[in-house]
Structure 1
Amino acid sequence: MAPERHAARVVALIIAALTLTLGLGVAPVAPAAAVPPARQAAAPGDDPEGGTPALRAQLEAASKGYLDAKRALDTSVKRQAQLAEQLKATETRLAEQTTRVGELAGLAYRTGRLGAASALLNSGTPEGFMDRAAALDAVTANEDQALRELRDNRDQVAEAKLAVEVEIVEQRKQQAVMAKRKQQAERALTTANSRAAQAPASRGGSRTAAPAPRNSDGSWPRESCSVNDPTPANGCITPRTLHALNQAKAAGFTRYVSCYRPGGSGEHPKGRACDFAAQKNGFGGAATGGDRTYGNNLAAFFVNNADRLAVLYVIWYRQIWLPSSGWKSYSGARGDPSSDHTNHVHLSVY
Structure 2
Amino acid sequence: MAATLLRRCWTVPVVLLAALAAFLMVAPTAAHADPEGGTKTLRDALESAARGHLEATAKLNASKKRQVQLGDILKRAQADAVRMQGQVEVTAGRAYRYGRVTTMTMLLNSSSPDAFLDRMSRLDMMAQLDGRALTDYRRAVDTTKAAQLAIIREIAQQQKQVDILARKKKEAEAALASVGGGRVAGGFIDANSPLAKPAPRNSDGSWPKESCTVNDPTTSGCITPRLLNAYQQARSAGFSHYTSCFSERSSGEHPKGRACDFSANASTFRNVAATGSDKNYGDRLAGYFVKNASRLGVMYVIWYRQIWLPNTGWRAYSASGGPAAVHTNHVHLSVL
TM-score (norm 1): 0.82
* Among 196, 202, 213, the residue aligned to 2:190: 202
Match of 1:302 in 2: 289
Match of 2:312 in 1: 325
Equivalent position SS for 1:282: coil
* In structure 2, C-alpha distance between the alignment counterparts of 1:47 and 1:80, rounded to whole Å: 45
* Cα distance, 1:276 vs structure 2: 0.5
Match of 2:60 in 1: 73
Name the amino acid aligned to 1:250.
S
Tell whether the 8 Å contact from 1:113 to 1:136 is kept in structure 2 after alignment: no
* In structure 2, C-alpha distance between the alignment counterparts of 1:169 and 1:203, rounded to whole Å: 35
Task: Write the mapping of 1:219-234 to structure 2, written as runs, cut at 5 A.
Answer: 219-231=206-218, 233-234=219-220
Name the amino acid aligned to 2:233.
Q
Tell whether the 8 Å contact from 1:204 to 1:298 is kept in structure 2 after alignment: no
Residue range with higher mean Cα deviation, 106-115 or 157-166: 106-115
Task: Write the mapping of 1:51-200 to structure 2, written as runs, cut at 5 A.
Answer: 51-106=38-93, 114-194=101-181, 195-200=183-188
Name the amino acid aligned to 1:128.
A
| Ranges in structure 2 where 5+ consecutive residues have no aligned partner | 1-28
* Cα distance, 1:201 vs structure 2: 4.9
Match of 2:255 in 1: 269
| Ranges in structure 1 where 5+ consecutive residues have no aligned partner | 1-41
TM-score (norm 2): 0.85
Match of 2:19 in 1: none
Q: Is 1:248 aligned to 2:247, yes or no?
A: no
Q: Is 1:348 aligned to 2:324, yes or no?
A: no
Name the amino acid aligned to 1:150.
Y
Match of 2:280 in 1: 293
* Cα distance, 1:296 vs structure 2: 1.2
* Cα distance, 1:115 vs structure 2: 3.3
* Cα distance, 1:253 vs structure 2: 0.5
Equivalent position SS for 1:221: coil
1:207-257 superposed Cα distances (whole Å, 9 cap, x missing partner): 1111112223322222222222111x3322111111110010011111110
1:43-78 superposed Cα distances (whole Å, 9 cap, x missing partner): 968422122221111101111111111111111111
Tell whether the 8 Å contact from 1:66 to 1:178 is kept in structure 2 after alignment: yes
* Cα distance, 1:172 vs structure 2: 0.9
1:81-115 superposed Cα distances (whole Å, 9 cap, x missing partner): 11111111111111122121123344556777543
* Cα distance, 1:203 vs structure 2: 5.0
Question: CA distance change for structure 1 residues 203 and 304 in 2, over 3 Å: closer, same or farther?
Answer: closer
Tell whether the 8 Å contact from 2:184 to 2:314 is kept in structure 1 after alignment: no
Match of 2:323 in 1: 337
Equivalent position SS for 2:261: strand
Match of 1:28 in 2: none
Residue range with higher mean Cα deviation, 141-150 or 194-203: 194-203
Please tell me the root mean square deviation across aligned C-alpha atoms, in Å. 2.1
Equivalent position SS for 1:301: helix
Equivalent position SS for 2:207: coil
Q: How many residues end up aligned between the 2 structures?
A: 306
* In structure 2, C-alpha distance between the alignment counterparts of 1:248 and 1:218, rounded to whole Å: 23
* Cα distance, 1:259 vs structure 2: 0.7
Percent identity among equivalent residues? 50
1:254-282 superposed Cα distances (whole Å, 9 cap, x missing partner): 11101111023211111110011112232
Match of 1:48 in 2: 35
Which of structures 1 and 2 has the bigger CA Rg? Answer: 1
